[in-house]
Structure 1
Amino acid sequence: MGRYRVRTLYDRDGRTVHERMQAAPEFAELRSRLRRFVFPMSAAFMLWYLAYVLLASYAPEFMAIPVLGNINVGIVVGLLQFVTTFAITGLYVRYADTRLDPVAEKIRMRMEGY
């Protein structure tokens, strides 16, 4: 048998510590902060990607405009998709470090009883 065992602590209402924490205002704030970043950023990226696909499908003459030698607008816009992905990742890391992680740490400490 393992050395560790999982304890489930119930309060008077029969809720576990996790259920109590999910109902706490701090947890609701954490969820809200996450959603305020993720949903708009996901929508913006999806629109940007959709624009790329639509341009490639319906404006091939525009995408074929040469920019530098054999490099055309389509290649530049396609490569910008990768740049955008890395930029969004960097923005999320910075946002999580400043706005999400401190609240999550407080919740974790509270749940662990520190």
Structure 2
Amino acid sequence: MGTMSSPPDGDRYVAVHDSARFKDLRRQLQTFILWASVAFTGWWFLTGLLGAFAPGFYRRAVIGTVNVGLLFVLGSFAVVVVIILAYLRFARTKLDPLAEEIRADLERGAR
């Protein structure tokens, strides 16, 4: 009874899942996902609302046959690219180091 044996594999993973560092990792990821979703959804609704309630603004020609509405729709692709690049940087600087620490601790416990 006085000896401590290593927990079975399943218990190690449950312990990691319940750890403060893993919860912090999930919280950081969920916070990023929330803000990225709000940014894209906001842009998407703005594009749709302007198209519905300000069609004259959307029809304004910018260069030749390119109008403001087309630029807003193409801007959606730009927003997606910006969100992707922001996520890659966020994951590289914030998420990956924390995940690597958790993984290293888990592998040390396996030995």
- Does TM, normalized by the shorter one, top 0.5? yes
User: Smaller-chain TM-score range?
Assistant: 0.7 to 0.9
Q: Indicate the RMSD between aligned Cα atoms, in angstroms.
A: 1.6
2: CA distance between counterparts of 1:9 and 1:42? 39
CA-CA distance at 1:26 after TM superposition: 0.6
Task: Answer yes or no: is 1:66 the counterpart of 2:56.
Answer: no
CA-CA distance at 1:50 after TM superposition: 0.7
Write the letter of the residue equivalent to 1:106. E
The count of corresponding residues between Structure 1 and Structure 2 is 103
**Equivalent residue for 1:9?**
8
Higher relative contact order, chain-length normalized (CA < 8 Å, sep 6+): 2
The alignment partner of 1:113 has SS state of: helix
Unaligned runs of 5+ residues in structure 2 are 1-6
Unaligned runs of 5+ residues in structure 1 are 1-7
1: CA distance between counterparts of 2:92 and 2:13? 23
2: CA distance between counterparts of 1:80 and 1:96? 24
Q: After TM superposition, what 4+ stretches of structure 1 lie above 4 angstroms from structure 2? A: none
| % same residue | 33
Task: Answer yes or no: is 1:77 the counterpart of 2:72.
Answer: yes
Q: Report Cα offsets for 1:37-73 as digits up to 9, x if no partner.
A: 1111211210111110111122211110101110000
- Considering fraction of residues, name the structure with more helix: 2
With the length of structure 2 as denominator, give the TM-score of the two structures: 0.85
